[in-house]
Copies of this chain bind each other. A is one copy, B any other.
Amino acid sequence: MSARLLLGEPVAEKVRQRIGDLVTQLATEHVTPKLAVIVATDNQATNWYVSSIARAATKLAVACEVLDLGEATAETLAETIKTLNADEQIHGIILQTPLPQGIDASSLVKLIDPAKDIDGANPVSLGQLSVGQEAFAPATARSVIEILEHYRIPLAGKHVAVIGRSTVVGKPLAQLLLQLDATVTICHSRTVNLAEHTSRAEVCVVAAGQPHLLTANEVAAHSVVIDVGTHVTESGGLTGDVQADSVQPLVSALSPVPGGVGTVTTALLLLHTVQAAVNFLERSRRGECQMSVGR
């Protein structure tokens, strides 16, 4: 027996189709959705990631402006966010990490207008998400849900273990799972006897940031495992938080790394941008904000 592979590509393709439909709709209203990515680092991996977002955007007729601010100060970054908040041509804002040393990201993401916070970085977004109000979830957390839903893995009433309590994945993901009526156990680095929790779960999502943390010892037979980890191997490849070799023969389904969650994330960032543009259009129709079209 070997696990069914829950690949990200078909899910991403479906997301891209939704983007295409919405972009077409917006075009009839003379609106081009636009994402702004603020970069303040010379990190090679980051540059590669940001240009991959820009390329994906171009292919889908979503405008993407990368603001490379070099070694910017916190003041410059704050001013840039405020300018983008006020710019009605911009529908989505990402503050790309890492930031220059000594700059506290948490005081900056608070400044992102929740309506443009398409990667759910502002705690306000997480709060709204938690109480079931409309808000953008971090794209990675949302990717997990999109994969589970695409492959029709039932969640209501199921026991889902989430390993990791980060504000980027674990915590928002737990909120999304609760909304879908899952019973959720949140495990983390201080959890004693991880296997006791994960081996009872029908679905296990691993976002611990630790290569090969989850082995056959920690999973239930026939369960579903979603790997959210991304680590560069010595040979330059990618590997995840799951020891796939040992887990795969045991479980019923596995979303692998590479080829799983990460594949969907960029598409979701763009879907959120397009949805933010749609929301903006609706608000301006209701007279809640001004809009100038056709530019």
Contacts and interface: CB of A to CB of B under 8 A. Distances in A.
A186 B183 contact: yes
B167 A131 contact: yes
B186 A156 contact: no
A227 to B, nearest CB: 20
Interface stretch (A68-76, A88-96, A120-128, A240-248): A120-128
A289 to B, nearest CB: 17
Q: How many copies does the complex hold?
A: 2
A96 to B, nearest CB: 18
Contact of A178 (B123, B125, B183, B186): B186
A23 interface: no
Question: Which of the listed residues A106, A158, A174 has the most CB atoms from chain B within 10 Å of its own CB?
Answer: A174
A200 B196 CA distance: 10
A184 B183 contact: no
Interface of A is mostly: mixed
Nearest to A180: B190
Contact of A127 (B126, B159, B183, B184): B126
A83 interface: no
A210 to B, nearest CB: 16
Contacts of A212: none
A231 interface: no
Interface in A95-115: 106
B126 A197 contact: no
A188 B182 CA distance: 9
A185 interface: yes
Interface in A135-173: 156-159, 165, 167, 171
A284 interface: no
B130 A126 contact: yes
A282 interface: no
A197 B183 contact: yes
Closest 10 CB pairs of A and B: A127-B127, A123-B127, A181-B190, A185-B185, A157-B192, A126-B127, A183-B191, A131-B167, A123-B131, A123-B128
16 contacts: A122-B127, A124-B127, A125-B127, A126-B127, A127-B128, A159-B197, A171-B175, A171-B178, A174-B174, A178-B186, A183-B185, A183-B186, A183-B188, A183-B190, A183-B197, A196-B200
Interface of A: 106, 122-128, 130-133, 156-159, 165, 167, 171, 174-175, 178, 181, 183-188, 190-192, 196-197, 200
Given A126-B127, A131-B167, A171-B178, 11 more contacts: A123-B131, A127-B127, A130-B167, A131-B171, A156-B190, A157-B190, A159-B196, A159-B197, A178-B188, A183-B186, A183-B197
